[in-house]
Amino acid sequence: ATLMATTALAQDYPDRSITMVVPFAAGGPTDTVARLVAERMSADLGQQIIVENVGGAGGTLGAGQVAAAEADGYTVLLHHIGMATSATLYRNLAYSPADGFAPVGLVTEVPMTIVARKDLEPADFPALMAYVKENADTITMANAGIGAASHLCGMLFMQAVDAPIVTVPYKGTGPAMTELIGGQIDLMCDQTTNTTEQIKGGTIKGYAVTTPARLDIFPDMPTVAEGGFPGLEVSVWHGLYAPAGTPPEAVDRLATALQAALADPGIATKLAELGTAPSPAADATPAALKAKLDGEIARWKPIIEAAGVYAD
């Protein structure tokens, strides 16, 4: 009877709406990617995907909620590089980033930009770095908590200027952006999915991109390496996860829907406008995300340990 019930479940999946947890505030970069993909996945699955924002603690609150959820395919998590960095940054996580989830597939990889309030003095990126070093005790930098991409980039930024800066944590860089535009905070390193429109609109200042090459959307903006800081290179890969123990049939069905979404030309166009692109279909698979996650946990561990940044 159990076997029949399991088979029926797999065949009927999904027969009701699915919750996609975004571990950061609404309106920010992760939310933007999630909502784009969720809408197209819903069409493929024939069931609605409801995006739920569970911000706080650098993405670990939302991730923990999904790790503890019923492993039935009806709760999933869209998270980014923070899944890998939090494995080292947090000493007492209630879940295991490496083993607490069933990876579904990679979604996209997003460049970051070093941005500032629009009236910050320095004219270009090298001048900014000198200015920040000089004024490290008064400059403020926003991030989305320990484990956020903005936190990771901020950590590399402080290593680059060789000075500690006062950081202000938010539940996501969506709300942080509001304060940067308002001039209540000086600096941020944030994903192009959140900064492109503001830089182009002139409501904030864009200084450099964190990719090895310049971006088509900002041909005049230098790379961090061009400015003399190659150590600031970082890209924010995103993945889709279900809780560990989710039936493989459901995970595979989610992966098929993810691949359909990423193949949608409308999504590719929208992501290109924001400086990024969908992951290729071959990467939108459980095996590819598992390999990426394990590789990235190992890659960032010594860098974080050398920086000596931890949370409990």
Site for ligand MLT in 215-244 (CB under 6 A): none
Is 78 within 8 Å of 106 (Cβ atoms)? no
Site for ligand MLT in 150-169 (CB under 6 A): 150
Residue 78 near ligand MLT by CB under 6 A: no
Give the largest CA-CA distance in the chain: 71
Contact with ligand MLT (CB under 6 A): which of 13, 21, 24, 234?
A: 24
What value, to the nearest 5°, has the Cα angle with vertex 284 and ends 282 and 290?
100
Contact with ligand MLT (CB under 6 A): which of 174, 239, 278, 286?
A: 174
CB of 155 to ligand MLT, least distance (A): 12
Nearer to ligand MLT, 177 or 250 (CB): 177
Helices (H), 97-246: 125-134, 149-161, 173-182, 192-201
Residue 113 near ligand MLT by CB under 6 A: no
Residue 28 near ligand MLT by CB under 6 A: yes
Please give the C-alpha separations between residue 280 and each of 10, 20, 285, 307, in angstroms, as whole numbers. 26, 21, 10, 33
Q: Measured at CB, which residue is nearest to ligand MLT?
A: 172
What value, to the nearest 5°, has the Cα angle with vertex 143 and ends 160 and 159?
15
Site for ligand MLT in 261-290 (CB under 6 A): none
CB of 24 to ligand MLT, least distance (A): 3
| CA torsion through residues 248, 250, 256, 262, sign | negative
Q: Which residues bind ligand MLT (CB under 6 A)?
A: 24-25, 28-31, 80, 82, 144, 148-150, 172-174
